[in-house]
Structure 1
Amino acid sequence: MLDRPVRALLAGPLDRVAAVLDRPGLTPDRLTVAGLVLGLGSAVTSAAQLWPVALVLWLVSRLADGLDGPLARRRGPRDAGAGGFLDITCDFVVYGSTVVGVAVGATAGHGEPWWPFLAVLLAYYVNGTAFLAFSSIAERSGRTIDDGRSLSFLGGLAEGTETIAVHALWLVVPWVAADVAVVWAAVVAVSSLQRVVAGYRALS
């Protein structure tokens, strides 16, 4: 829901940072992998209940994820297929692993129940299936949505901006992480339904 205005707001600052990082030894794919490693570090430190460290690693991970695209565009026209594939795969790994990390840390340290986090993972699974299936079929049928990214993204109530905010929130208040997860799972489920309906209509 917030991705479009946030992307417009951050485009200039991210481009300027990408200009500083534009050095021969640093490639967009390396930035993507750095985001993956940092995200996995956030998951591990969440499980260990090192919440402030996990929060910092999470935010820096998402910053790296936001910079690989601007850096790639500075390098000139190229086939974005491999980079886009790597990016979305790393995103899914990071999102899933950080949910598990928070679940482990919150249940062990604060007695939070497991099932809300399982609900989030299920909602992520359905949501990811819907937009990836749409992107693949839209590409073959010539009905792509071009917003500057390598995949055709269907908008929804829960997008990347909201995901970053919610994952940061339960690192700040891990003692109510399960309550946050219940609400978030419901939001992602509604977003999944939106994408299924919108995707079906767009491809009909």
Structure 2
Amino acid sequence: MLDTRLIPLTRPPLRWLAARLDRLGITADQVTVGGFVIGMLCIPLLALEWYVAALVVIVLNRLSDGLDGALARIQGISDSGGFLDIVLDFIFYNAVPFGFLLANPEQNAFWSALLMLSFVGTGTTFLAFAIMANKYQLNSPDYPQKSLYYMGGLAEGTETIVALVLFCLFPQYFPWLAGLFAVMCWITTAARIRAGFTTLKALSPRVRTVN
């Protein structure tokens, strides 16, 4: 929901930093993998209830996610890089609620599981439509720089980052915050299912069987 407004603001500083990394010979894929490794440290940090440290690695992971895209636009966007980026992103997203589950199983288990299930909904609708969009050569008007068709919604990248930050700042309220964000994810999932099905139904040729 907020990505279309935030991305133009973050693009200039990311482009500046990416240009310097490019001069050092650092590739977009290296930034992607490095950011993922850093981000996955959130699991032990959250399990130990070191929430400030977990917040730092989460922010660094999200920074690298924007930076690898800026670097790829300098060095050349590739399908392999786009694949690696989206796969590692979804693994990281689920790592955060898993870390909160380990921190306090009695309080957080249900809400962590619900949030991970919600991420399945947003992730599968996003990826399934991206596959079909590629088949019909559809382009995303709001995110033309993305390697995959970017299907928006109420819970996009910006909202997810805000949610992850709030989880770490107010861990005692994780059940409430996770439940609220899960609702946002399911609204997004429902909207994407409806929009995707309607769009593809209009594009798909009807096949008639002759007896």
Q: Same fold (TM over 0.5)?
A: yes
Match of 1:114, SS state, is helix
Question: Bigger radius of gyration, 1 or 2?
Answer: 2
**Pair 1:102 & 2:97 matched:** no
- Aligned partners of 1:170 and 1:176 also within 8 Å: yes
RMSD: 1.3
Q: CA offset at residue 145 of structure 1?
A: 2.0
Percent identical residues: 36
Q: How does 1:3-22 map to 2 (within 5 A)?
A: 3-22=3-22
Partner of 1:133: 128
Q: CA offset at residue 165 of structure 1?
A: 0.8
Q: CA offset at residue 24 of structure 1?
A: 4.4
Match of 1:156, SS state, is coil
User: What count of residue pairs does the alignment treat as equivalent?
Assistant: 199
Partner of 2:114: 119
User: TM-score normalized by structure 2?
Assistant: 0.90
**Pair 1:89 & 2:87 matched:** yes
Partner of 1:29: 29
CA distance in 2 between partners of 1:200 and 1:22 (Å)? 41
What runs of 5+ residues in structure 1 fail to find an aligned partner?
none
Q: How does 1:48-197 map to 2 (within 5 A)?
A: 48-75=48-75, 77-78=76-77, 80-105=78-103, 107=104, 112-145=107-140, 147=143, 148-197=145-194
1:37-65 Cα offsets, whole Å, 9 max, x none, are 11101222111111110000110111011
- Aligned partners of 1:143 and 1:203 also within 8 Å: no
CA distance in 1 between partners of 2:150 and 2:175 (Å)? 28
What runs of 5+ residues in structure 2 fail to find an aligned partner?
202-211
CA distance in 2 between partners of 1:173 and 1:96 (Å)? 19
Match of 1:154, SS state, is coil
User: TM-score normalized by structure 1?
Assistant: 0.93
- Aligned partners of 2:108 and 2:174 also within 8 Å: no
- Aligned partners of 2:19 and 2:71 also within 8 Å: yes
1:149-180 Cα offsets, whole Å, 9 max, x none, are 01101110000111011011111111111111
